[in-house]
A = this chain, B = another copy of it.
Amino acid sequence: MNDIGIVSMSAVGSWKQVSARLEKTVSGYSEADLQREVAPGRNRIYYLVGHLAAVHDRMLPLLLIGERRYSELDEAFLTKADRVVADSISGEELREALRVANLEVTAGLEGWSAEEFLKRHSAVSEEDFAVDPLRNRLSVLLSRTNHASFHLGQMLLVK
């Protein structure tokens, strides 16, 4: 394995570790638990699961892995804050969306050659990428892994 191979495996390992912990945590909540707020007046776990499902689903086109599956989540879980849109989807469905999105992102990453991590993502133009090669797929992966850790820390406040 060359150096870039080791690096990309480190980053994918970090993503997989956080994703696995996230899914394990989420699978431990009942529908009633999902309705609990992570702290008084803050987001419900229900919202955070939908939020992470939407964000991870959006990684598929962003990383040029494939098409989105759950764009209907954006309005309630990404554009708007918790409780602005009436709940129209079960916690179980959100959990499944998160599981599928994580699975597809991971499968996509694992199919990449090491060099693909350094290619541009779909939200940066070729011109801008030529100026700033740090706007690559690896940076997206690191950023989303941190984002998932951020909300995982909040969810784990509810037992």
Interface residues of A (CB under 8 A from B): 1, 3-4, 6-11, 13-14, 18, 38-40, 42, 115, 117-118, 133-134, 136, 138-139, 142-143, 145-147, 149-154, 157-158
Q: Are B3 and A136 in contact (CB under 8 A)?
A: no
Could you tell me the dominant secondary structure of chain A's interface residues? helix
Q: Are B149 and A14 in contact (CB under 8 A)?
A: no
Contacts of A4 in B (CB 8 A): 3-4, 7
Expressed in whole angstroms, the Cα–Cα distance for A12 and B33 within the complex equals: 37
Which one of B3, B10, B143, B150 lies within 8 Å of A139 (CB-CB)? B10
Q: Are A3 and B149 in contact (CB under 8 A)?
A: no
Nearest opposing residue in chain B for A37, CB measure: B39
Q: Are A134 and B40 in contact (CB under 8 A)?
A: no
Expressed in whole angstroms, the Cα–Cα distance for A40 and B150 within the complex equals: 19
Which one of B1, B7, B18, B154 lies within 8 Å of A153 (CB-CB)? B154
